[in-house]
Structure 1
Amino acid sequence: MPESVQVVIAKYREDVSWAERLGLSYIVYDKSSEPLTDARRLPNIGREAHTYLTHIVEQWESLAGHTAFVQGNPFDHLNDHGKADVQELRSMIMDCVERNVPFRGFAWFRLRCDGLGRPHDLGNPENRGRWPGWGKDIPVAEVFSRLFAAEPPREFIARAATGLFCVSAERIRTRPREFYEYALRLVAEDPRDTENTGHALERLWQLVFNGNRAWNKDKYF
Structure 2
Amino acid sequence: MKFSGEKVSAVIARYSEELSWLEALDCPSTVYNKGESPVEGAVVLPNVGRESHTYLTHIVRNYPDFPEFLVFLQGAPFIHMEEGADCAKLNSLIADCIDRNVPFKGFAWFRLVCDRLGRPHQMADPANKGKWAGWGRDIPVGDTYEKLFERTPPEKFIASAATGLFMVRRDRILVRSKNFYEKALGVIESDPGDARNTGHAFERLWQVVFNGSRSINPELG
In which range does the TM-score fall when normalised by the shorter chain? Answer: over 0.9
Report the equivalent of 1:62.
65
Q: Number of residue pairs matched?
A: 217
Question: Is the CA contact (8 Å cut-off) linking 2:11 and 2:71 kept in structure 1?
Answer: yes
TM-score, with length taken from structure 2: 0.95
Task: Give me the whole-angstrom Cα distance separating, in 1, the residues matched to 2:104 and 2:204.
Answer: 14
1:207 equivalent to 2:201? Answer no
After the TM superposition, list the runs of 4 or more consecutive aligned residues in structure 1 that deviate by more than 4 angstroms.
Answer: none
Segment of structure 1 superposing worse, 31-40 or 161-170: 31-40
1:51 equivalent to 2:58? Answer no
CA 1:164 to 1:39, structure 2 compared with 1: closer, same or farther past 3 Å?
A: same
Question: Is the CA contact (8 Å cut-off) linking 1:2 and 1:63 kept in structure 2?
Answer: no
1:151, CA displacement in angstroms? 2.3
Describe the SS at the equivalent of 1:9.
Answer: strand
1:17, CA displacement in angstroms? 1.4
Question: Is the CA contact (8 Å cut-off) linking 2:5 and 2:27 kept in structure 1?
Answer: no
Q: Deviations over 1:47-100 (max 9, x none)?
A: 000000000110113211100000001011221x2x211010011111112221
Question: Is the CA contact (8 Å cut-off) linking 2:180 and 2:219 kept in structure 1?
Answer: no
Match of 2:33 among 30, 38, 51: 30
Q: Deviations over 1:128-176 (max 9, x none)?
A: 1111101111100000011114321111111001100000110001111
- Residue segments in structure 1 that go unaligned for 5+ positions in a row: none
**AA in 2 matched with 1:199:** H
Task: Give me the whole-angstrom Cα distance separating, in 2, the residues matched to 1:77 and 1:185.
Answer: 27
Report the equivalent of 2:176.
175
- Residue segments in structure 2 that go unaligned for 5+ positions in a row: none
Question: Is the CA contact (8 Å cut-off) linking 1:149 and 1:214 kept in structure 2?
Answer: no
1:29, CA displacement in angstroms? 0.5
Task: Give me the whole-angstrom Cα distance separating, in 2, the residues matched to 1:209 and 1:40.
Answer: 24
Task: Give me the whole-angstrom Cα distance separating, in 1, the residues matched to 2:5 and 2:129.
Answer: 44
**AA in 1 matched with 2:118:** G
**AA in 2 matched with 1:45:** V
**RMSD after superposition:** 1.4
TM-score, with length taken from structure 1: 0.95
Describe the SS at the equivalent of 1:62.
Answer: coil
Segment of structure 1 superposing worse, 90-99 or 177-186: 90-99
Describe the SS at the equivalent of 1:33.
Answer: coil
Match of 2:42 among 39, 44, 53: 39
